[in-house]
Amino acid sequence: MQTARISFDSFNTLQDEACHQRIKAARAKLGQRAVLLCHHYQRADIYQYADLTGDSLRLSRLASQTDAEFIVFCGVHFMAEVADIMTKPHQKAILPDLAAGCSMADMASLAKVERCWRELNEVLNADEVITPVTYINSAADLKAFCGEHGGIVCTSSNAGTIAQWAFKQREKILFFPDQHLGRWTGHTMGIPLDEMMVWDPDLEMGGLTADEIRKAKILLWKGHCSVHQMFQPAHILKFRNQHPDGLVISHPECSFEVCKQSDFVGSTELIVKVIKDAKPGTHWLVGTELNLVNRLAEEVKPEGKIVQFMSPTVCMCSTMQRIDPQHLAWTLENLAEGNIVNQIKVPEHEAALAKLTVERMLAVS
C-alpha cells in the first residue's frame, strides 16, 4: 500500500546511529524485494549494507542476474542507468542521491560526440572506418550512440579485449570519455603514442589536422577522472626510494606516466584481488580512490601486508561519497512504504540501443 512520500527534510539532520536503525528496519520490511549493489568506492558506513559488491563490469553482470524488484544502487548515476538497462521491466533501479554523478562521464555529451562524428566524416567515412567505444562511465545516450554506429561499451577490466574486438570491426577507434584508459589500453596493444591523438571536443575538428586524424589508430576523447589525476609519478618515485621491495598498483584512469611506473594496472576488482592474493608481509602503494584503499588496508593488515594510498592529499570520489546513511535510510523507508523515489529510468528507445552495446560487451569479455 502506498502512503504519502516521506520528505528528506527530517533525514537531513538525522544522526548516523538513528539512520542505521531505520535502514535496518526498512530493509527488514522490504526483505527480498530490494537488493543493495555497492561499488568498491562506497564509504564504509554504506558498504556494510551491501548484498553485492564489485567493479563496474561485475556490477553490470550482477544487475542483469538479480530478480529483486528494487535494485538500490550505491554508486553513481551511470551505474544505476546500466542497472535499469539490464533489468526486466518490473524491476526498478534506484539511486539514493540523484546528485551522485560521475564528473568524468559528464565530460562527454551526446551533442559533442555527434559533432565529433560529423567532423570526422568530413575527413573520412566514420561509419566505415571507426568503431566508437565508450567507457561504461558515460551516459546511456552515448552507449546508445555506440549501438547505432556499430560500437561497444568497455569497462576498466575488459578494455583490452573490447579494443581487440573493435579493431576487428574497423581500422580505428574513437574512445570516450577517458583519454587515460584509452591510451593505456592502446599502449598495451603495442600502438605507438603518436598514433593515439587527443580529440578536444571544445576545438574545431578536435584540434587536429586532417592528416593527424587519418594517421590516428585511436582518437582519445579529452576527458579524465578528477580523482585519479591526483596521482603523480613523483609519488611512486618517493615510495620506491623509501621501500625498494614495495609494489605499486594503479587504476588505468591514472595518467600514462603513473600506469607505466606501476607494477600492476587494473580495475578496482583486480586491485582487490592482487593485494588479497599477495604474499604476507608485502608493502603496497595503491593509486585509486581512498575508501577502497582504506578498506583494503584494514582487511589485509592481519596478514602483515601494508597498503598505502598513493597521494599525500586526500582524494575521494566526492560524488560516490554523496550516498550517505541519511539518503539510504530515506530511500529505503520510502520504498518500504510503497513510494518509489529516485528511480533511474532510461528512455525506451535509448535503453534498447544501449542494452545492445552492454550485452555485446558482456558477450565479448
**Rule CB under 6 A: which residues touch ligand 13P?**
40, 55-56, 137, 155-156, 225, 251, 253, 267-268
Distances (CA, A) of 118 to 122, 150, 267, 321: 7, 16, 33, 37
Q: Does 102 bind ligand SF4 (CB under 6 A)?
A: yes
Q: Does 103 bind ligand SF4 (CB under 6 A)?
A: yes
Pick what 320 binds: ligand SF4, ligand 13P, none; C-beta below 5 to 8 Å, kind-dependent.
ligand SF4
Characterise 280 by phi-psi region: left (phi > 0), alpha (psi -120 to 50), beta (else).
beta
CB of 86 or CB of 197, closer to ligand 13P: 86
Stretch that binds ligand SF4, among 24-32, 101-109, 115-123, 269-277 (CB under 6 A): 101-109
CB of 116 or CB of 317, closer to ligand SF4: 317
Q: Does 289 bind ligand SF4 (CB under 6 A)?
A: yes
Task: Order across the sheet with 52-54: list the strands.
Answer: 52-54, 34-39, 70-74, 92-94
What length is written for the chain?
365
Report the residue from 227, 265, 275, 332 that binds ligand SF4 according to the rule CB under 6 A. 227
What CA dihedral angle connects 174, 177, 182 and 184, to 10 degrees? 170
Short-list 171, 134, 140, 174, CA closest to 156:
134
Q: Nearest approach, Cβ of 37 to ligand SF4 (angstroms)? A: 14
DSSP 254: S
Stretch that binds ligand SF4, among 194-202, 220-228, 302-310, 345-353 (CB under 6 A): 220-228
Contact 262, 248 (CB under 8 A): yes
Count of residues of this chain found to bind ligand SF4 when the rule CB under 6 A is applied: 13
Q: Nearest approach, Cβ of 78 to ligand 13P (angstroms)? A: 9
DSSP 118: H
Q: Does 82 bind ligand SF4 (CB under 6 A)?
A: no
In the structure grid, which three cell numbers stand for residue 342, read together?
529516485
Q: Nearest approach, Cβ of 162 to ligand SF4 (angstroms)? A: 17
Q: Nearest approach, Cβ of 233 to ligand SF4 (angstroms)? A: 19
Pick what 97 binds: ligand SF4, ligand 13P, none; C-beta below 5 to 8 Å, kind-dependent.
none
Judge residue 188's burial from the number of C-beta atoms within 10 Å of its C-beta, 0-12 exposed, 13-18 middle, 19 or more buried: middle
CA distance 343 to 335: 10
Give the residues lining the site for ligand SF4 (CB under 6 A).
76, 102-104, 137, 225-227, 253, 289, 317, 319-320
